[in-house]
Structure 1
Amino acid sequence: MENTNINLTIIVPVYNEGIFIEETLESISNQTNSNFKVLISDNCSTDNTYDIVSKMTANDRRFLAYRQETNIGAVDNFAFLIKKVDTDYVMIAGGHDLWDEDYVEKCLLKIMQSDQIALVHGDIYLKDDNGNKDNREVRFFDMAGISDPVIRFNLSMWLGQYHFYGIYRSNVLKSTFIDKKFFGSITVVLCQTAIMGRIVHVKNTVQYFRIRSQKENINERKKRYAVSYHGYKKKTFLPFWKTPFYMVLAAIKTPIYKKKKRVSCRIRLVLSSFNACSKYFDSMVNDVKNLRP
């Protein structure tokens, strides 16, 4: 399935993915729909990630690699790539994940069927670092039949995040808070995506999502997020208190493409957004406890 008009960009932000990146890029390269371009940004990895990326991209004109001179943090590395997207659709690919060979073909065909679809993803299987199946629950919901943005917004607030790595309409992703640095940002981005369109599940094509084998408590996770977001160790003040704020802001500012009853829809979105205080309540309490000397 090839066409001279490229309408999909696959972005791959990476950092220290030397163990998995070759297999990941091969999985992308072997897609049955080869009509796309791939933008890779290495966030100043300290391992051999960029050497592997450079070797592989030299042999495939669809692939273009960048290397940051310093670690700019995961969010800015994402934003760097997204600014370079000039196609109608964009796929976010993790530097350690794999896909069935027909993943791009099936998902791209689905999102092109209707301008009411904002994001498409396939089946999601979890693997640990050794490639073994992980039995943790994957929570997502096919919103193909849900026309109400408020219902989609509320569903996205409480579901998982794995389908963040799917194929978006580029204008939708660029209208989200994808470039903002705050804890819980992926959930907010998915909620914004749900406001702007339907999030659709395509069956019988799989993304194999690698997850961390090492379990961590909430304080360990906050430290990892802080380094990941900023590129260096940074002490954050009440980090999870920002999440409900951005959820409310998303309800206020995200474009609504629904043709009728936009005002009432906006009011319902704003009222629903305060549920984020309930979702993140335990984390917010933990933030306060950590203020104690």
Structure 2
Amino acid sequence: MTEQTLHQAEPGRHPFLWPLLATLLIIGWSSGFVGIRFASEEASVALLLFWRTLLSGLILLPFAILIGPRLRLRGVLEQAAFGVMSVFLYLGGFALAIEQRVPTGLVALISDLLPLAIACLSQPVLAERLSLRQWIGTAIAVSGVLIVSLESLTFGEAPLWAYGVTVGSMLIFALASVIYRRQRAQSLPIHQSLCIQTLTGSVLFGLCALWQGSLAPPLTLNFGIGMAWLVLIATFAAYWVYYTSLRLFPVAQVSAAIYLSPPVTMLWAWALFSEPLTTTMFIGLAVTFVGVWMTSRA
């Protein structure tokens, strides 16, 4: 059986698996806003990311050591490289851009164009071609994201390089995703991979936080709630579902679900922080849903 046949057969044997994983991925990916909203009121972004990645890695460490194949230096170094790309450069790049006064709406919009970059990279790197219907669906989904982001989109006065950092962070994560998909056969179990990646990120974020001041966490309720949310949902749930999906489905199909994270994030904000919902947001949500359905349909 060829790899292409396997891609087609796997979803056919599990008709409800992809809808379930896609729903969990959208919820987990969009929920990062909630944790950051709670925790960022008490700490700098670097300190927040340091404790998020450190706690995630330490919780997974006993399982990574006791469960799964024996960790070898080559595998650890490979996953550490993924940690630099998909944790430190991806999350840290967006944090740096926001600190340099790149408008948050613009940062979110560029971040949400990640599936488009993955779709463009999947053909030359993975030989996974999108059909005409999938490209049309991608265009519709991007249009929906633009509609959702329209009201919060502004161009600030940040230095030009900060905008480049934003785009570069998104492209690095896209590249890491397609490389991970290509190497899934020899990849470590997800709990081991995520442990190494988050601990790698924690070392680098720790250096950044230490350079800014202190590594001591603020002992407040909001910071604790934010950390619990970021570790359990935005890290464990979101990354686990994302990496699991990459091993089972074409990367462009998996990433397309992320297009729905902006409107779902706005629903989180409405439910938990009473932020207003507008007609434009619902229109954007509907348009994005149609695009994701066309892109992901088997």
Normalised by the size of structure 1, how large is the TM-score? Answer: 0.29
Normalised by the size of structure 2, how large is the TM-score? Answer: 0.29
Write 1 or 2 for the structure with the bigger share of strand: 1
Q: Which has the higher contact order (CA 8 A, sep 6+)?
A: 2
